[in-house]
Amino acid sequence: MASAKSTLEARHLVRSFGDGETKTTVLHDVSLDLYGGEVTLLMGPSGSGKSTLLAVMSGLMRPDSGEVVALGQRLWQMSEGEQRRFRLRHCGFIFQGFNLFPSLTPREQLEMVLRWGEGTSHRDAERRVEEALVRLSLGQRGDLTTDQLSGGEKQRVAIARALLKDPTFCFADEPTSSLDWGHGEQVIQLLQAAARERGATIFIVAHDARIVPYADRVYHLDDGRLSASGGRQPPDSCRNEESGG
Least CB distance from residue 32 to other proteins, whole Å?
17
Check: CB of residue 35 under 8 Å from CB of residue 232. no
- DSSP bridge partners of 69: 9, 74
Segment contacting other proteins (CB under 8 A): 31-39, 92-100, 132-140, 192-200?
A: 92-100
User: What does the chain look like in DSSP terms, one character per residue?
Assistant: --SS-EEEEEEEEEEEES-GGG-EEEEEEEEEEEETT-EEEEE--TTSSHHHHHHHHTTSS--SEEEEEETTEEGGGS-HHHHHHHHHHHEEEE-SS----TTS-HHHHHHHHHHHHT---HHHHHHHHHHHHHHTT-TTTTTS-GGGS-HHHHHHHHHHHHHTT--SEEEEESTTTTS-HHHHHHHHHHHHHHHHHH--EEEEEE--GGGGGG-SEEEEEETTEEEEEE-SS--TT-EEGGGT-
Q: Interacting stretch for other proteins, rule CB under 8 A, among 32-40, 88-96, 130-138, 237-245?
A: 88-96
Among 55, 132, 191, 204, binds other proteins (CB under 8 A): 55
The one among 16, 145, 178, 229 contacting other proteins by CB under 8 A = 145
Nearer to other proteins, 200 or 228 (CB): 200
Which residue of 41, 68, 75, 113 would you call a contact of other proteins, by CB under 8 A?
113
Q: Is 18 in the site for other proteins (CB under 8 A)?
A: no
State the number of binding residues for other proteins (CB under 8 A). Answer: 37
User: Among residues 39 and 162, whose Cβ is nearest to other proteins?
Assistant: 162
- The answer to whether 16 contacts other proteins (rule: CB under 8 A) is no
Q: Which range touches other proteins (CB under 8 A), out of 16-24, 36-44, 93-101, 131-139? A: 93-101
127 binds other proteins (CB under 8 A): no
Chain positions contacting other proteins, by CB under 8 A: 51-52, 54-55, 58, 60-61, 84-89, 91-93, 95-97, 99-101, 103-104, 108, 111-113, 116-117, 122, 145, 161-162, 165, 173-174
